[in-house]
Amino acid sequence: MSENGLINNQILSEIISEVVCKYMVEGESVLEQEYSIPVEVSRRHVHLTRAALDTLYGQNYQLTKVRDISQPGEFASEEKVIVISPKMKIIEGVRIVGPLRDYTQVELALTDAFLLGLSALPTRLSGDVTGSQPITLVGPKGSLTLTEGAIRAARHLHMTPQDAEKYKVKNGDRVKVETEGENGTIFKDVIVRVSDKSKLAFHIDTDEANAANIKGSVFSKILY
């Protein structure tokens, strides 16, 4: 090997070492990211418009907060409804999540869909109900039949713009997320939702949580 060749190899080796060290030191390494994103399990629930709540609970009825839930401003209410499918199968005691929204939506797991006889429950982000499954809601003051509104919530990551910068993702990205522990599971096709009104969390439904044996406080990380 020529002297120039030896020098060039040495320079190349130094450059590679410098780049690798810089890559590993900047913040948390992409390859060695800690499990730092809380995992939260979303159970079956409904979101209602003002008009829908008026129909189910009476004119100008106000929801009663039981507790705050993770995303800022959202809460579990004391009020519940009965959910009835077109096949006249029923799930009682489905909680209303506040505050009121500009759409009415029923979020179910696939197990719930099986119980209700819904064979084509679409997986959607919250608010995307166009073409989804018909469903009927019954409250103490009335009932409401929706031509569309029943969905399975797509697994997703809530984060602020600052979180998105830290984790090197952007709104609408689809990523893989791994949960920690002996029963750690990799979830594919997780949708990133970035908003300055969000709080960092990875949301999955009850079926996904049971399949991954997720109980109590569990954290996750993005796989790149």
Each residue's pLDDT tens digit, 212-224? 999 999 999 999 7
pLDDT confidence of residue 139:
98
pLDDT confidence of residue 224:
78
Each residue's pLDDT tens digit, 71-106? 999 999 999 999 999 999 999 999 999 999 999 999
DSSP code at position 206: H
Q: Where are the alpha helices (DSSP H) in the chain?
A: 3-25, 50-57, 110-116, 161-167, 206-211
Averaged pLDDT of the chain:
89
State the Cα–Cα distance between residues 202 and 190, nearest whole angstrom: 9
Each residue's pLDDT tens digit, 149-183? 999 999 999 999 999 999 999 999 999 999 998 88
The CA angle 200-211-114, to the nearest 5 degrees, is 105
Given a cut of 60, whether residue 11 has pLDDT beyond it is no
pLDDT confidence of residue 182:
84
Q: What's the pTM value of the predicted model, to 2 decimals? A: 0.82
Token readout for 34 is: 């800690």
Band (147; pLDDT cuts 50, 70, 90): very high
pLDDT confidence of residue 14:
55
Domain 28-39+156-223: give its CATH architecture. Answer: Beta Barrel (2.40)
pLDDT confidence of residue 23:
44
pLDDT confidence of residue 31:
42
SS3 assignment, position 88: coil
**Domain ranges (residues) in the chain:** 28-39+156-223, 43-153
Least reliable range by pLDDT among 25-29, 46-50, 173-177 = 25-29
Q: Give the H or E element holding residue 191.
A: strand 186-194
